[in-house]
A and B are shown apart, each in its own frame.
Chain A
């Protein structure tokens, strides 16, 4: 399975600032996914990022708040903008899962805390 690296692993940010999270994969993948895991909760999909096209956002998530880039087949970034305490979560990148039965694989996430 693909090796997925996320940076930073954790950060503490001030309200009103932004944080960009990087996701690097050791092989080319068509689809990458960004999830959020709020404290004590399960994972929620934010968006699907395909190389060469605009990201597709799930209900409740908007591009202005969570802009995503996908410049090539091994890299993606998620920016969390205008940070507020409600954005304190773990943000996870995953890849794969395309095609019949293929599983997704996850990075270890970015733990974000807002002061």
Chain B
């Protein structure tokens, strides 16, 4: 599975959009991009995933560049409860395990 690079930490004001970048320049054609988050003392929570097209669900939007070498997770209106570590993971479609990197620690401030 391709390696991902994320900034170690980010801040965001409550109510503003949080844009979390992820670089996956070695991604191959059959690899999906997944985003999870881990709030302190809880298990990772699935947020969203995509292959080529941009995706949106009730939690977030995922924007994947046309060359698929990077993506951005967007939390449209961040709340204090969105403070967590966010993991961007690339996994082959037929693969199983998730390789977690260090992620981005997002702090949402009042």
Contact = CB atoms under 8 A, between A and B. Distances in A.
A106 B96 contact: no
Nearest to A1: B46
B44 interface: yes
Contact of B42 (A99, A101, A104, A108): A108
A97 interface: yes
Contacts of A45: 97-99
Interface string B91-107: 00110111111110000
Interface in B59-90: 87
A43 B32 CA distance: 19
A43 B103 CA distance: 10
How many chain B residues sit at the interface, stated as a range, is 20 to 34
Contact of B46 (A42, A43, A104, A107): A104
Contacts of B110: none
Interface in A63-115: 92, 94, 97-101, 103-109, 111
A105 B46 contact: yes
Nearest to B91: A97
Given A92-B43, A105-B46, A107-B43, A42 B97 contact: no
Given A1-B46, A101-B49, A104-B46, A43 B100 contact: yes
A43 B44 contact: yes
Interface of A: 1, 4, 31, 33, 35, 42-45, 48, 58, 92, 94, 97-101, 103-109, 111
14 contacts: A42-B101, A45-B98, A45-B99, A92-B43, A92-B44, A97-B96, A101-B32, A101-B51, A101-B93, A104-B98, A106-B46, A108-B42, A108-B43, A109-B43
